[in-house]
Amino acid sequence: MAESTEYDLIVIGGGPAGYAAAIRAGQLGKKVACIEMERAGGTCLNWGCIPTKALLKSAELYQKIKKADVYGLSVGEVSFDIAKVMTRSRSVSDQMAKGVEFLFRKNKVDYFVGRGQVTAPGMVSILDGEHKGKFFKTKNILVATGCKMRRIPGLEYDGVRVMTSREALASKTLPKSIIIVGAGAIGVEFAYFYNAFGSKVTLVEMLPQVLPVEDEEVSKTLTRAFDKQGIKSYVNTKCENFRVGKDSVKVDLVQGETRTEVEAEVLLSAIGVVANIEGVLAANVKPEMDRNYLKVGDDYQTTVKGIYAAGDIIGPPWLAHVATYEAVNAVNGMFGIHHAKRVKNFPGCTYCQPQVASTGLTEKAAKEKGLAYKVGKFPFTASGKAVASAESEGFVKVISDAKTGEIYGAHIIGAEATELIAEYGLARELEATVEEIHQTIHAHPTLSEAVMEASAATMGEAIHI
């Protein structure tokens, strides 16, 4: 590739924001390049969303087979090979990453593996890898370098006794016991996975509930479900005095004046993420920042003209689907297709069992805002499809304006929650009301009826069994 090549857009980062931006620009016929430091797909495809879902599917299937007698089936003794489970997860990631590389070729995106840096507005260099030393001119730059796992200060991460989700995904052994610090989506998903395959799991969260961003009622229900599964959850709990030994890790769990020592073979840190900005900007490139995240305007442009940013690098919510939305809108805006749109309506999903999904305000948030609202709730125990499928745990809950029926928020815990939430997302986008969802005929028997019935319950009209 000639160093004199000039691009319409160079994207730094090849994750859900980066590859989506590059492909969209390619679709528009623009000259575009994407620089990714590891592999197309970024953290999500290679070390996050996709491989974890492969692991969770194996765990879910294993647990269902173990309970086959519930369905009147006899399968004999069920066993597993954790190395094969992990290998399948990696192969799924490989397949998806190759898919991104194919789309790059299809849309004539120049793809470079290396560490990209904005050396000046309109100029990008590659700092390492086989393309090290190359400089490119470009009309626009999009920074989409995402985030990396936050680490507990003072704790050495060796990938054996102490690890992040990345090391956990690369491991082909199963610990007999594990302490998971942090009960957000990542911590909760790994808690389910390890417990499903027989590890003794201790889940610790310093905030008042597991899945702190979710509705309180949902989090309480998940905690009860985890307790039944054998997962020990601690909330309002701090971790202090980490001691890493040859064969185990010890830590003190502190709740007020109470201090409890716990010990496990492995500790998994899942305390959140931090901006992956180090080395991305040369010292003379100084866009405005907010706690290491790039500040952008409504058009996703930073305070330096011609330099845009999208995805996790501009701050929460740190969700792959939000990152893709932002990146595509940034590209459409910078090339005049239409005005860029900022994210307002999006789902949050956690893929443990039971699944958790939500969009919009929690009931607590609606109350704190002083909104006049109604709550409609429908349990899966009253869903014929859920009961027939032996998946009746959980409920659908919808929060709406007391007068107009406008949907402020929706919260689902139960089977296929992460699929069902899309209907409420569409309803919010179209400004539909709970009455309109109620008046839309849903096939019987389906799990989606619970979405309709929760809306009906807002008006005291829920019926189905």
Identify the three-state secondary structure at position 272: coil
Inter-residue long-range contacts of 419-425, CB under 8 Å, 24+ positions, other chains counted: 420/357, 420/396, 420/447, 420/448, 420/450, 420/451, 421/347, 421/349, 421/357, 421/358, 421/359, 422/347, 423/448, 423/451, 424/359, 424/360, 424/398, 424/451, 425/345, 425/346, 425/347, 425/359
Known catalytic membership, residue 131: no
Domain ranges of the chain: 6-148+274-334, 162-271, 354-458
* pTM (predicted TM-score): 0.95
- Which superfamily, per CATH, for 354-458? FAD/NAD-linked reductase, C-terminal dimerisation domain (3.30.390.30)
Buried b (16+ CB within 10 A) or exposed e, 137-175: ebebbbbbbbbbbeebeebebeeebbbbbbbbbebeebb
Residue the block writes with tokens 């970024």: 42
Neighbours of 338 (CB within 10 A): 9
Span 6-148+274-334: which CATH code?
A: 3.50.50.60
- pLDDT given at position 267: 98
Q: What is the dihedral angle through the alpha carbons of 316, 321, 327, 328, rounded to the nearest 10 degrees?
A: -150
Domain 6-148+274-334 identical in fold to domain 162-271: yes
Write 124-130 long-range contacts (CB < 8 A, 24+).
Answer: 124/10, 124/12, 124/35, 126/35, 127/279, 129/37
The CATH architecture that domain 162-271 belongs to is 3-Layer(bba) Sandwich (3.50)
Among 240, 154, 167, 239, which Cα is nearest to 205's? Answer: 239
Question: What pLDDT is attached to residue 312?
Answer: 98
CB atoms within 10 A of CB 39: 17
pLDDT score of 2: 40
> What is the distance between the alpha carbons of residues 191 and 223, in angstroms, rounded to a whole number?
11
Mean pLDDT by 10 residues, the chain (465 residues): 74 98 98 96 94 97 96 94 97 96 98 97 95 96 97 95 96 97 98 98 98 98 98 98 97 96 98 96 97 96 98 97 98 94 95 98 98 98 97 98 98 98 98 97 97 96 73
Q: Which of 321, 338, 339, 444 is catalytic?
A: 444
